[in-house]
């Protein structure tokens, strides 16, 4: 759906957008993060022999699917290819909407994620860049990426996510700031339900600008999970109220800082809205500012019923992120970045 909508808006005719065939990842590259034991299991996993969640996380939310190792190799290879294109200077911005699987651990699948292509992408970038900024816009905390880098000062993770009792994965509190020499290199922005575009962009712009000035990254990786959009079925009881507007403004801020950047996908379970978002972000990244609101007729046109429009209306759930809570988040994050700045000056 994503590809066909991008094609329907004729974005592939833009000279700034090039299609690159990714290189499939081999075990050597998967081994940069994942254990050989886990990789070997992906090769041999058979659905009929999996009962519940096993030691490798295959089960309930990560079922054993056919050709699982091939799938993981393709996903990882695409994001590693994106990093290679940045490292070689061939492109300033690279998009892989098929990537962004931020929950997978070194030895375990988690939260629909069988391979952590983001970690592998960042490790590839680290071959050239000394400081990498990772930004996560998914409704869920980017726990797998943070866990992979929480002991290093070479990667700063910045995650904007919903944080409520019982909400997966249950990590990413504002007090979760990294460990060892990685202390203050994990920046978490825990949100309550109902946040809208205005408050989200306020938080993002304030914190992102401060992170840039303090950490001075050389390259940025952004996970653009679409499940924070209003109408996503992942959590209908306590949703967020975000629309394409907030995501677009955040990505514009990333582009305007003029650093090389990789944009990845992630969650998004209302497939029509996810396609709307990633099409809009593709246009933003390549400098095509205006897309007509009426979706062009194409093979997937009926999926966008009943309005057949690109833009979506904001949700109407009460915003539990009041001014006092937002001020508390900002003051805490800014204070932590003050200490990070002190450590970087030593």
Catalytic positions: 103
Q: Scan for tokens 């990537």, then name that residue.
A: 99
Side-chain-side CA neighbours of residue 25 (13 Å): 31
The span from the CA of 147 to the CA of 160, in Å, is 16
What are 178's strand-pairing partners?
none
The span from the CA of 258 to the CA of 220, in Å, is 10
DSSP state of 293: S
The span from the CA of 216 to the CA of 153, in Å, is 12
Q: Scan for tokens 């933003």, then name that residue.
A: 284
Peptide bond between residue 128 and the one before it cis (omega within 30 degrees of 0): no
Q: Which residues fall within 8 angstroms of residue 5, CB to CB, at 6 or more apart?
A: 275, 276, 279, 295, 298, 300
DSSP percent split of the chain into helix, strand, coil, nearest 5: 40, 10, 45
* 247 neighbors 312 (Cβ within 8 angstroms): no
Alpha-helix runs per DSSP H in 153-218: 197-215
* 230 neighbors 314 (Cβ within 8 angstroms): yes
Q: Do β-strands 132-136 and 219-223 pair in parallel, antiparallel, or remain unpaired?
A: parallel
The span from the CA of 262 to the CA of 309, in Å, is 27
CA 31, 37, 43, 48 torsion: positive or negative?
negative
Q: What are phi and psi of 133, to 5 degrees?
A: -100, 125
Q: Which two tokens stand for residue 201?
A: 């962009």
Angle at 212 between CA 158 and CA 178, to 5 degrees: 35
């Amino acid at each position: 759906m994503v590809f066909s909508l991008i094609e329907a808006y004729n974005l592939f005719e833009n000279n700034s957008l090039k299609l690159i065939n990714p290189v499939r990842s081999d075990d050597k590259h998967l081994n940069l993060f994942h254990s050989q034991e886990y990789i070997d299991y992906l090769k041999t996993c058979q659905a009929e022999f999996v009962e519940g969640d096993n030691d490798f996380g295959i089960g309930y939310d990560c079922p054993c699917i056919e050709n699982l190792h091939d799938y993981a190799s393709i996903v990882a290879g695409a994001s590693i290819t994106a990093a290679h294109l940045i490292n070689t200077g061939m492109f300033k911005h690279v998009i892989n909407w098929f990537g962004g699987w931020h929950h997978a651990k070194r030895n375990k699948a988690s939260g629909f994620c069988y391979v952590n292509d983001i970690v592998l992408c960042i490790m590839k970038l680290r071959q050239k860049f000394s400081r990498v900024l990772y930004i996560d816009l998914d409704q869920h905390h980017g726990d797998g990426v943070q866990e992979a880098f929480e002991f290093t000062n070479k990667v700063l993770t910045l995650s904007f996510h919903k944080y409520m009792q019982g909400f997966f994965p249950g990590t990413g509190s504002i007090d979760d700031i990294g460990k060892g020499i990685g202390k203050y290199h994990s920046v978490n922005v825990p949100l309550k339900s109902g946040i809208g575009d205005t408050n989200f962009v306020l938080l993002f712009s304030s914190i992102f600008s401060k992170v840039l000035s303090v950490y001075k990254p050389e390259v940025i990786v952004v996970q653009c999970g679409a499940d924070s959009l209003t109408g996503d079925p992942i959590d209908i009881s306590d949703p967020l109220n975000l629309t394409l507007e907030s995501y677009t403004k955040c990505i514009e801020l990333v582009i305007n800082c003029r650093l090389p950047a990789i944009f990845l996908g992630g969650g998004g379970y209302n497939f029509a809205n996810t396609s709307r978002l990633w099409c809009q972000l593709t246009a933003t990244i390549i400098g095509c500012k205006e897309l007509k609101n009426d979706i062009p007729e194409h093979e997937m046109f009926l999926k966008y019923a009943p309005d057949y429009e690109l833009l979506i209306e904001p949700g109407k759930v009460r915003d539990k992120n009041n001014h006092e809570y937002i001020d508390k988040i900002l003051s805490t994050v800014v204070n932590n970045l003050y200490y990070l700045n002190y450590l970087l000056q030593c």
